[in-house]
Amino acid sequence: MEQLQEIEQNVSRLVEAYKQARRENAALQEQLKQQNDELFVLRTQIKQTQTDLRNLQIAHALTVDSPQRQKAKNHIQSIIADIDRTIDVLKH
């Protein structure tokens, strides 16, 4: 009889340990989801910040008298000329 009680106690402890492990797993899964969501937001912010920085660098290059400004201006004029040539070719 004593062995049976001991087995029952062990099974009860095992079942409780299993339930606790499932609760911990669920909590960890939720924590992982939250961290993944936060990571997505942070990556989106990084991409936006990089775009903003690139735009600021371009704006700065175009507003400051510098070799970069002249280079950027020449590049833009070249692109516009290419577009104009393409339009002319498409018209004919």
Task: Please give the average per-residue pLDDT across 60-84, as a whole number.
Answer: 81
Task: Please give the average per-residue pLDDT across 69-89, as a whole number.
Answer: 87
Where along the chain do its domains lie? 2-91
Tokens encoding 92: 């004919």
**Cα–Cα separations (whole angstroms), residue 81 to 45, 69, 70, 85, 89:** 36, 18, 16, 6, 12
Assess contact for 69 and 60: CB atoms under 8 A. no
For residue 1, give the DSSP letter: -
Assess contact for 46 and 57: CB atoms under 8 A. no
Kindly report, residue by residue over 24-70, the tens digit of the pLDDT: 999 999 999 999 999 999 999 999 999 999 888 878 777 767 677 77
Res 69: pLDDT = 73
Return the number of other C-beta atoms located less than 10 Å from residue 32's C-beta. Answer: 10
